[in-house]
Amino acid sequence: MKARAFSDLQAMQTALRVQVRAAQEAAVAQALAHEQARRERHLFEFTVGEVSPIKDAGRAPHASAQVEPRPKQRDSDNATVMSSALSDDFDVTSLLETDEALSYRRNGIGDDVLRKLRGGYWSLQGQVDLHGLRSDQAREALSAFLRKAVMNDWRCVRVIHGKGLGSPGKTPVLKLKAQRWLVQKKEVLAFVQARGCDGGAGALMVLLQSA
């Protein structure tokens, strides 16, 4: 009996020593992990030396708005070129055909094109309203509209210039200028006075060159 009791005691002591050693190893591992974490948190300080944290001024961070860059100079240059290219002094009378309504067609464009344009053969894809604008504003608006039409590959557009009833002497000044400007544009193949349902004498139906 005594021998067995002594054997049991030895087994208990061995098991206790194993538990103590395991606890010590766990404590060492935990200490190493804690030190490693501390060094990683202060890696910058260990690298460059002692630093002082910036005091919190209590300011809320403000995200700056991202502004899309606009090529203002290029737009300005294009507008200047387009505006200066359209002359108010251009003699258009020799280029207009005198029929029931003045019309224009570039050299090489047949009479059938005018008939189709006047009859609504091509679908209207865009329009610009110059009515009520000053001459310089109307020229700029027409230039910008034609650039847009070319970019979108529009074929048939309408230019609304008004009938000039509000002008001094009831003279359709803007109508005549619109005709002068249009015949100077190489992308304009032809134009006719609009049908009554499309604006009549106050608008032009314009056929543009396809891209």
For the chain, what are the domain ranges? 2-48, 86-208
Please say if the pLDDT value at position 98 is more than 50. Answer: no
Question: Using the 8-state DSSP alphabet, how is residue 210 labeled?
Answer: -
Amino acid at 139: R
Q: What is the pLDDT of residues 156-186, one digit of tens each?
A: 999 999 886 655 555 668 888 999 999 999 9
- Residue 131 CA to chain centroid, in angstroms? 28
pLDDT at 94: 46
Please say if the pLDDT value at position 141 is more than 90. Answer: yes
Question: How far, in Å, are 85, 89, 146, 187 from residue 184 at the CA level?
Answer: 8, 11, 12, 9
Instruction: Look up the pTM and report it.
Output: 0.55
- Tokens coding 62: 């403000």
Please say if the pLDDT value at position 190 is more than 60. Answer: yes
Domain 86-208 has CATH 3.30.1370.110: yes
Band the pLDDT of 19: cuts 50, 70, 90: confident
Beta-carbon count within 10 A of 143 CB:
21
Percent of all residues in the chain with a pLDDT value above 70, rounded to a whole number: 63
Task: Give which of 151, 141, 142, 159 is closest to 207, Cα–Cα.
Answer: 159
